[in-house]
Structure 1
């Protein structure tokens, strides 16, 4: 039996600090966003799809479990590749555990409508706080019976009727672009296809919408895009092999590490072009005065450890906010982040969490209606709570490089997207 002290150590991680410039080469795992979209599209393809170099994490494992419950045969090959072969749609009652995976909670309920029987959805306590009402409303508008407790959150039950009706539907995706992506991904399986009209505010994270559209087309779908409206035609998908890009958002903390500590880092495998929001970190680094160049060996970032303050609208790249906020705590002047009000509905209220945890360590950070105001100040060690949020672990790691004694709670939550994060982080420091 472990002692109380051993248990506490197993739950916490002291982020390593360094006074030396970084000199390292790093490769990050596959993109979660791409991996789970590829899995959904493979599940809708009548022929097998080999997904190569996918992310292996809790979120992607939960997606495979959900698709397996819908009759998809999943074979995990040595080396990590996954072969998906759809089978007969099941009948009868079943339960899907989504954990804290927004992609599973939002991308698979429409697939559940194709089964014949009730499919119950639930997950971690954190996922019950994340919004899903706009998607449920759109499903009902299409004629898919769904019941919930009336709160617009999980748990809910999809009453599968053995088919997925199509037609025109409106959705308010202002809280999450995943509501729109969920409808578009299911489009090829909808009877007559689907036309989605956006209502409400502008969806955040436009790159994720572009990613969905691009991947649908790579799998053979016909997609029409017009201002405020998307149409996906009914049709048969096929993609014998799909290669997943490295996760550029998971790469962001390593690039930020060089920005705050100085030195040189090469990120292997960085694609020449990408729809991933994480690709925008290059522009942010340039605005802060950090040199970065894409070459044959990958993306090379060099820095003297000095950063300019900046005013940044991160509406389309909100998932980068925690790492960027941590980085800006070491800038030579104040900074303002705007356009990210939707982060209050992610794994946690990220804006409140960042303001609380960074301020506790001495930085001058406060949250606004749609972002953060950051006034750099001398920082000190202490406990950085992560609220079951993988991006906060990554932000804390960046702070810990320059501030000795930062103790990060629940570092294992990075298993959501990057199970080996702390090991790779330590290896970066030699």
Structure 2
């Protein structure tokens, strides 16, 4: 029975770095993800004047509830959306002038709902080139707090950034949300804030965050559920079996719900206290599934959909069009090149069964496209990638780990 050791969650590591930097005291993060995104977040904290000590298995962060130690800083956010959205929000709570920029890919991704909310809270923030996009400059004088309205229909990260900011404000925050996608990621945020001593209350579409700051702690990072999805899908399409330790009934990440999609398609799934196992049964049924709350796993399902006995229709995933690339169209285009019939709409994709032939997958620089179609390659010879190295964003050792799994399956 292949047991796969999945690296730490990107989403949890990024939130933990923010919370550790904001907390009063020294926080130790156990088994954080070490990837381009999280290293970029840590380097951003260092640029802002925080001390981040890194060993192979843990990171220690000296918290500064009063904000960055540097009075001025230039921060490069690389490709990281959490870095590009969370760090300007953290810096706003301090006092100084901070300029943020990012890769061309990240420059294309939207920020406006978040920066509009920060301005509503009195933050002096200027987009230097294109409104709603990096680069931007924050002239920070602390944040009083109060009430703010937010549209989080494109990304739940906008809401997470404001919730994380709340305890650093003078009065606390009340955030009224008009639309919200990927709710499980917000649940991760709330649970982690609780671990750092802050209880957020929810009143319908309003989130109420008290002032008062965070308390440093030791925090263990659980394995990345989105990454685990590629290995679970591998079991489903090959008739094999994969177990991932560290992800079980108490897991924070909603993307573990992807195994329930595999169960509906015919795989056997066991979720224990501290591990999850998926077994392929030789059957994959077509289905219609709403993936609004687990949209990061949409490409994984799209990549195995042609092996199902009937069409697979994935709905309510408009937000996947504003990720590292337009993931919905990237999946559709690559599947067509593999010989699959695909239809798409503004927020849906329908994939039909078919015979596939190998081709080079166009990654669009998106780690999830590469890792998803690696699963397709378990059944289709001749699949290659134009940019296999883009997996360094979240899983630098993916190809080695996946190759080892292929051999065992």
Give the TM-score, by structure 2 length: 0.96
Aligned to 1:73: 51
Aligned to 2:289: 312
Please state if 1:95 is matched with 2:74: yes
**Where do residues 53-64 of structure 1 align in structure 2 (5 Å cutoff)?**
53-64=31-42
Aligned mates of 2:372, 2:242 — CA distance in 1: 18
Aligned mates of 1:352, 1:300 — CA distance in 2: 31
Aligned to 2:165: 186
Match for residue 354 of structure 1 among 331, 354, 364: 331
Aligned to 2:192: 215
Aligned mates of 2:189, 2:281 — CA distance in 1: 38
SS in 2 for 1:333: coil
Aligned to 2:98: 119
Backbone CA RMSD of aligned residues: 1.4
Moved more, 125-134 or 358-367: 358-367
Over residues 211-246 of structure 1, what are the superposed CA-to-partner deviations in whole Å (9 max), with x where a residue is unaligned? 111111111013111111001101131132000111
Conserved 8 A contact 1:258-1:305? no
Aligned mates of 1:56, 1:138 — CA distance in 2: 31
Please state if 1:289 is matched with 2:289: no
Conserved 8 A contact 2:225-2:253? yes
Over residues 161-197 of structure 1, what are the superposed CA-to-partner deviations in whole Å (9 max), with x where a residue is unaligned? 2x22211111111111100000001111011111100
The 4+ residue runs of structure 1 with deviation greater than 4 A are none
Aligned mates of 2:240, 2:130 — CA distance in 1: 53
Aligned mates of 2:29, 2:289 — CA distance in 1: 35
Aligned to 1:383: 360
> Do the aligned partners of residues 29 and 222 (structure 1) sit closer, same or farther apart at CA in structure 2, a change above 3 Å counting?
same
> Do the aligned partners of residues 152 and 297 (structure 1) sit closer, same or farther apart at CA in structure 2, a change above 3 Å counting?
closer
Conserved 8 A contact 1:29-1:55? yes
SS in 2 for 1:311: strand
Match for residue 274 of structure 1 among 251, 255, 263: 251
Moved more, 271-280 or 376-385: 271-280
Conserved 8 A contact 2:68-2:91? no
SS in 2 for 1:260: helix
Aligned mates of 1:132, 1:174 — CA distance in 2: 12
Match for residue 157 of structure 1 among 122, 127, 137: 137
Aligned to 1:17: none
Shift of 1:355: 0.4
Aligned mates of 1:318, 1:44 — CA distance in 2: 29
Over residues 258-278 of structure 1, what are the superposed CA-to-partner deviations in whole Å (9 max), with x where a residue is unaligned? 111112222222232223122
Shift of 1:295: 3.7
Over residues 102-124 of structure 1, what are the superposed CA-to-partner deviations in whole Å (9 max), with x where a residue is unaligned? 10111111211233332111111
SS in 1 for 2:215: coil
**Where do residues 15-414 of structure 1 align in structure 2 (5 Å cutoff)?**
23-77=1-55, 79-87=56-64, 89-148=68-127, 149-161=129-141, 163-199=142-178, 202-295=179-272, 298-414=275-391
Conserved 8 A contact 1:59-1:417? yes
Shift of 1:304: 2.8
Residue-pair matches, total:
404
Over residues 11-65 of structure 1, what are the superposed CA-to-partner deviations in whole Å (9 max), with x where a residue is unaligned? xxxxxxxxxxxx5221100101001101100111111000001111111111111
Conserved 8 A contact 1:384-1:407? yes
SS in 2 for 1:171: strand
Give the TM-score, by structure 1 length: 0.91
Shift of 1:94: 1.4
Aligned mates of 2:277, 2:19 — CA distance in 1: 33
Conserved 8 A contact 1:24-1:429? no
Aligned mates of 2:3, 2:57 — CA distance in 1: 22
Shift of 1:91: 4.2
Conserved 8 A contact 2:259-2:278? no
Conserved 8 A contact 2:314-2:349? yes
